[in-house]
Amino acid sequence: MEQALPIRSALISVFHKDGLAPIVEKLNDHGVTIYSTGGTEQFIKELGIPVVAVEDLTEYPSILGGRVKTLHPKIFGGILNRQNHEGDQSQMAEFSIPQIDLVIVDLYPFEQTVASGADAQAIIEKIDIGGISLIRAAAKNFADTFCLSSVADYQEFLDLLKAQNGTTTLAQRKRFAAKAFACSSHYDTAIFNYFNQETQLNHLKLSVDQGQPLRYGENPHQKGEFFGAMDQMFDKLHGKELSYNNLLDVDAAVQLMNEFQGSDASPCFAILKHNNACGMAQGNSLSEAYAKALAADPVSAFGGVLIANQKIDLETAEQIHELFCEVVIAPGFSQEALALLSQKKNRIILVQKLFKQSDLTVVTDQAPTQAQIDDLLFASVICKHTKSNTIVFVKDGQLYASGTGQTSRVDALRQAIEKAKSFNFDLNGAVMASDAFFPFPDCVEIADRAGIKAVIQPGGSIKDQMSIDYCNAHNLSMVFTGTRHFKH
């Protein structure tokens, strides 16, 4: 069985002292010698607990305004020595270096200082030197030294002290060493990204430390975890935990509906399945928008993710309640609507915590009407949030059909036409959006035969003129956005 090591000495120097007192008191109960400095030393003294000043141990004062105080061989030797190494122990005795079994150190609040809008000098002073060095040293020597690097872990460590009579196991020391290196790497990432705002080096450094385990990954045999501050984006009012696939659909839904926000936006509703909109519409009321969105593909809507750009009222909720859906997202819910939708115990209800006018170039002789422009912009936004290659049909503010994820743009177009026919939508007078340019005029020709009267696309093909010529010859209007929207 693994032998636990007793904690006989500790170095404590922290910025955040919340929750520290019970640990110090428990260490004192076990007769642990405590070394400290500065504000932490004073904090421990005020608890009535004996403490040895680091300056007394090193016989060197804190200098340079406190920038240098723990960077000394008697400190780092005590942390880094190998207790089973004869040479190390000989030098410890020769230079009168005490063993340090526990290091409790946190870091200056660099990220918080940057976020506060402090001046550059204040930010620079919050780049920790001694603390980060102590953390790395203690974590490296986890075989003999325990490193506690975050106030978030104080309670776990205190429980450990109580349960194991002031001892720690190798597995525990190694686990907390991993936590320490996570802490130090996150800190260095934040510092680099602050400096790189001006230097613009070609390096991408990301560190997200708020992981949330999911029920499973994309498939049941896979693991999944969400990183990010979910509570900053949503208030979860009801339902089961979000799954990996739920999150993908929620992200796609939010990105899509963000295009239809604002005080002047018409009521809008979208239904998504596998990250694509299978129904979307605007209406004079939210209930009308929902009914039109559902009509686009009531089959695919089953088990989908629903999102609205306005507060959901009871009338709309009564319609939604008839459909099995995984998630409902809106800026708010009336009390009656929430009560009704919450009757399904697993239905996830999210409140989203909270558009875009394209510069269009008319390239055909015939310009689109204002009503067609509204539909074209609506179709273009849906296109932007649909897997490529994609074609989208819209009429009177309602998604009629889309062809998604095809290897050929012509195949996407034909898929959309067949889908519209299968739900008895009349495409005569509808508009078409494409996520990328047409390399040949075949797409506008097929669309024309299906009844399409206006087209929106990025443009940019060396053969754009061929599509323009066809439209001019057949009284179609077409506009270019100049922006491609591939999504893979």
Q: Are strands 431-434 and 391-395 parallel, antiparallel or unpaired?
A: antiparallel
Closest CA to 414 of 390, 395, 381, 380: 390
Q: Is 162 a catalytic residue?
A: no
- Cα–Cα distance between 289 and 325 in angstroms, integer? 17
CA atoms within 13 A on the CB side of 223: 4
Q: What is the DSSP string of 65-130?
A: GGTBSS-SHHHHHHHH--TT-HHHHHHHHHTTPPP--EEEE----HHHHHHTT--HHHHHHTS-SH
What is the token pair recorded at 319?
Answer: 């319609």
Distance of alpha carbon 424 from alpha carbon 162, whole angstroms: 71
Cα→Cα distances 124→118, 188, 301, Å: 10, 13, 53
Half-sphere exposure of 164 (CA within 13 A, CB side): 17
**Phi/psi of residue 13, nearest 5 degrees:** -150, 100
Known catalytic residue at 140: yes
User: For residue 202, what is the DSSP state?
Assistant: S
- Which residue in 26, 126, 140, 186 is the catalytic one? 140
- Is 253:307 a contact under the CB 8 Å cutoff? yes
> What CA–CA distance (Å, rounded) separates 111 from 190?
7
Q: What is the rounded CA–CA span in Å between residue 230 and residue 52?
A: 44
**From 26, 126, 274, 474, active-site residue:** 274
- Residue among 276, 279, 282 nearest 298 (CA): 279
In the 8-state DSSP scheme, what is residue 63? Answer: B
Q: How far is CA 49 from CA 9, 10, 70, 204, in A?
A: 14, 13, 21, 46
Residues with active-site annotation: 140, 274
